[in-house]
Amino acid sequence: FLVWTGTSARLDKFLLWLNQRNPHLKFVSSQHPSRITFLDIEIVQEASSLTTMIYRKTTDCNALLHYSSYHPQTLKKGIPMGQFLRLQKMCTTVLEHKQHADDMFQRFLNCRYPYSLIKRACKQAFNADRTWLFCPVLFLLHQSHLWFALFPILLQPHNYEL
């Protein structure tokens, strides 16, 4: 992910230089004056603000876990909530959130998730406070009689000291 402030010609030259460094790596560029995609998010500059939304590649194949799979029920019940919370966190506008939520709702139905489970997850995620979704959370894992603390770093460029 890179925001280039130079000319297009200099960017092309820079990409050519990068691609000559290692034959196993290929760098590509996507250029737009007010829009950028990175992984599963699209960032758009509108006037003096930025808006974000979910980005899905055209090759996306709806790879959600099917409800009839032999995975633990707790895992299958948690997937819709996690995905709808992801939408709540990444979609800036209510309209954008609604469009993606409707699409996701249908994708879960296509994978045979119970309607009531999807509806409950969608409603709970929509009512979640977006500001809390960006707060770091402390997870404690127990392994071999030792406790490990893992801090997911969300929108913060520094590391935590334990």
Structure tokens at 43: 């960032």
Q: Is the pLDDT of residue 4 over 80?
A: no
Q: What pLDDT digit, counting tens, does each position of 89-127 carry?
A: 888 888 888 999 999 999 999 999 999 999 999 999 888
Pairing of strands 146-150, 41-46: unpaired
The whole-number pLDDT of residue 110 equals 94
Q: What pLDDT digit, counting tens, does each position of 64-90 carry?
A: 999 999 999 999 999 999 999 988 888
For residue 44, list its beta bridge partners.
35, 51
- One-letter amino acid at 54 equals I
Pairing of strands 139-143, 49-54: unpaired
Q: What pLDDT digit, counting tens, does each position of 8-28 carry?
A: 888 889 889 989 988 898 888
